[in-house]
Amino acid sequence: MTAPHDDDLTGALVAELARRTGVCWLRVAGATHPMWHVWSEGALCLVSGGAEQPLPDLVDGDRVEVVMRSKDTGGRLLTWVGRVSVVHPGDEAWAATIAALVDARLNLRDPATAPDDWARDSTVLRILPI
């Protein structure tokens, strides 16, 4: 299923699938990248770069395709298009996004220092369905 624009039911499906899975696939510049994520405040949130998962540089306003797959079968359930928002330290969304990411991150070396590490070495992203 490919998500149509402005469909409340599809928006609810995107949110539900994102809450139930910890991994999605982002299509960026012709390549597909598996990414761990968390759904928080209406957006797919992730961190890349530094010691975290690799992802090509994305900037505010970039569009990406997000592929959500079944945890059980691995089959594609939904593909949707999202708009990238880079979250910087000091932004209104920073604290909530970082808190959600720290809570969701498995095998985090030190949860207390992760926000500072990510602020210095990584890129924190929110992807909003469009």
Give the CA distances from residue 26 to residues 69, 80, 91, 92, 118, in Å, rounded to whole numbers and listed in that order: 12, 10, 24, 25, 20
Q: What does the pLDDT read at residue 3?
A: 46
Whether 77 is in a domain gets the answer yes
Q: Which of these, 92, 97, 91, 93, lies nearest to 115 by C-alpha position?
A: 97
Whether 93 is in a domain gets the answer yes
How far is Cα 130 from Cα 122, in angstroms, rounded to an integer?
25
Domain count, the chain: 1
Whether 75 is in a domain gets the answer yes
What CATH number is associated with residue 91?
A: 2.30.110.10
Q: What does the pLDDT read at residue 6?
A: 52
Q: What is the pTM of this model?
A: 0.88
Domain with 53 in it = 8-129
Whether 1 is in a domain gets the answer no
Whether 123 is in a domain gets the answer yes
Whether 2 is in a domain gets the answer no
Whether 107 is in a domain gets the answer yes
Q: What is the pLDDT of residues 22-62, one digit of tens each?
A: 899 999 988 999 999 999 999 999 999 999 999 999 999 99
Assess contact for 56 and 29: CB atoms under 8 A: yes
- Measured from the Cβ of residue 28, the count of other Cβ atoms closer than 10 Å reads 18
Mean pLDDT of the chain: 90
How many Å is the Cα radius of gyration of the chain?
Answer: 14
Whether 118 is in a domain gets the answer yes
